[in-house]
Amino acid sequence: NNASTPSSPCVLVTGGAGFIGSHTVLELITQGFKVVVVDNLCNSCEEPLRRIEKLSGLTEQIPFHSVDLANIDALRGVFKAHTISSVIHFAALKAVGESVQKPLEYYRNNITGTLNLLEVMLQFGVKNIVFSSSATVYKADYDGNPLRETNELGCTSPYGRTKLYMESIIRDVVDANSGWNAIMLRYFNPTGAHESGTMGEDPQQIPNNLMPYMSQVAVGNLKELRVFGTDYNTRDGTGVRDYIHVMDLAEAHVVALKRLPLHKGYEVFNVGSGTGQTVLEMIEAMSEACGKKIPYVLEGRRPGDIDTILCDPTKSTKELGFQVSRDLKQMCTDLWRWQKNNPNGYK
C-alpha cells in the first residue's frame, strides 16, 4: 500500500535511514503519504526501513535508493523513477567536533549535496522543500534568553556554517524561481525514540551528544558519563538545553509538509519545547526511566559550549500550529526501551 508507481506523487526523504529521517518516514507513512528514501548509508543502515514497514503494516518495501547526493546523475535517476511532489532534506554530516577537524568534508558533503538536490528539483519542477536546520545557526546568547527566529545568526563551527549557508542557498532559489515553497526547521536537542522500542538513534561511533552517550552508559556499553562543566550560570551549574522527543520532531515535519501548498514562499520555524533541563536533571530523569543509577564524573567545560540554549516556540505554535506533546519522562522512557531492547542498535 506504499507502492510508489511513477504516477502516484510521493515525498522524497533524503537521509531517511538516519535517526530523525527514519522516525519522520514512519510518521509520513502513518499519515498516508507515499515516500521514497535516498540515503548513502554513511551514518545509517537499511534496517530502520524494515522496522518501519513492520510498524506500519506495509505489504511492500519502502522505495529506497542507496545514492550519495554528490552523484547528481544517480539523483536524477531517482526523480525519473518516481513522481516527486516535495522533498524533506535531512541528509548531512552532523558532528560538530568532526567538522572542525574535517571542514572540507563537511562543506563538500552538505553543500554539494544540497546544490545537487536543488538543481535536480529545478530540472524536474519540484518546488516544495522542508529543510533540517538547527539551533546551531543562532549567534550564541550568553544571557540564555530563548531564541527567536528573528535572532541574529552566526556559527562557531564548520558544521553550523554549512547549515547557515544551506538556508541561504535555499532562500536564493526560492527568490529566483516562482512557485517555490521552503520551510527551514531549526531543531533544538532531539532525543527519545519511537515508543515501540524498535526504532531509535544508532550512532556509528562513540556518541558526542549527551543523551545517546548516556543511554549507552545505562545499557553498559560505555563506562561512565562525563558531565562537561559544573560552573555554568544555571540552577545546578551544568548546561541547560531544550530537549525534544524525536516523534514530536517527526510530527513537526509532517505539519510543515502540509503547509507548503499554502504557498508562503520561504519560512523559518524553531522546533523545540521552550523549556530547558540541566545535564544533572537529564541524568536524574534517565536514571528514573531505567531504574538504576547512571555512573558519571564531573569534568571541566567542553570547548565551545555555553550555559543555556533555549527555544522560543511562539512562532511555530502560532503560525505553524505545532506544539510538542511528549514530556521529559516519555523521552527517557522511550529512549531506554529502545536501548535496552537493542543494546547494539540495529546491528
Residues assigned a catalytic role: 159
Which C-beta is closer to ligand NAD: that of 73 or that of 262?
Answer: 73
Which C-beta is closer to ligand NAD: that of 165 or that of 230?
Answer: 165
Which C-beta is closer to ligand WQD: that of 120 or that of 309?
Answer: 309
Task: Read off φ and ψ for residue 129, nearest 5 degrees.
Answer: -145, 135
Closest contact distance (angstroms) between CB of 167 and ligand WQD is 12
Closest contact distance (angstroms) between CB of 163 and ligand NAD is 7
Closest contact distance (angstroms) between CB of 99 and ligand WQD is 10
Contacting residues for 149 by C-beta, under 8 A, at least 6 apart: 186, 268, 269, 270, 315
Nearest to 309 by CA among 267, 278, 269, 268: 278
Residues 289-308 that bind ligand WQD (CB under 6 A): 302, 305
User: Of these partners, ligand WQD, ligand NAD, none, which one is at the site of residue 92 (CB under 5 to 8 Å by kind)?
Assistant: ligand NAD
Classify residue 347 by burial, with Cβ atoms within 10 Å: 0-12, 13-18, 19+.
Answer: exposed
Instruction: Return the sign of the alpha-carbon dihedral for residues 3, 115, 258, 255.
Output: positive
Amino acid at 211: M
Q: Are 136 and 155 in contact (CB under 8 A)?
A: yes
Which C-beta is closer to ligand WQD: that of 78 or that of 312?
Answer: 312
User: Which position among 49, 52, 62, 69 is part of the footprint of ligand NAD (CB under 6 A)?
Assistant: 69
From the list 3-11, 17-25, 278-286, 322-330, the region that binds ligand NAD by CB under 6 A is 17-25
User: Of these partners, ligand WQD, ligand NAD, none, which one is at the site of residue 70 (CB under 5 to 8 Å by kind)?
Assistant: ligand NAD
Which C-beta is closer to ligand WQD: that of 173 or that of 214?
Answer: 214
Nearest to 324 by CA among 249, 242, 240: 249
Q: Is 273 in the site for ligand WQD (CB under 6 A)?
A: no
Which C-beta is closer to ligand NAD: that of 1 or that of 61?
Answer: 61
Cα 327 to Cα 341: distance, rounded to the nearest angstrom:
21
- What is residue 89's three-state secondary structure? strand
Q: Is 109 in the site for ligand NAD (CB under 6 A)?
A: yes
Q: Is 96 in the site for ligand WQD (CB under 6 A)?
A: yes
Q: Is 19 in the site for ligand WQD (CB under 6 A)?
A: no
Q: Are 28 and 20 in contact (CB under 8 A)?
A: no
Direct distance between the N- and C-terminal alpha carbons of the chain, in angstroms, rounded to an integer? 28
Closest contact distance (angstroms) between CB of 278 and ligand NAD is 18
Contacting residues for 281 by C-beta, under 8 A, at least 6 apart: 236, 328
220 conformational bin, left if phi > 0, alpha if psi -120 to 50, beta if neither: left
252 conformational bin, left if phi > 0, alpha if psi -120 to 50, beta if neither: alpha
User: Which position among 107, 124, 165, 228 is part of the footprint of ligand WQD (CB under 6 A)?
Assistant: 228
Q: Is 170 in the site for ligand NAD (CB under 6 A)?
A: no
User: Of these partners, ligand NAD, ligand WQD, none, which one is at the site of residue 272 (CB under 5 to 8 Å by kind)?
Assistant: none
Q: Are 142 and 306 in contact (CB under 8 A)?
A: yes
Binding site for ligand WQD (CB under 6 A): 94, 96, 134, 136, 189, 208-210, 213, 225-229, 239, 241, 279, 302, 305, 309
Point out which residues bind ligand NAD (CB under 6 A).
15, 17-21, 39-44, 68-70, 90-94, 109, 113, 132, 134, 187, 190, 209
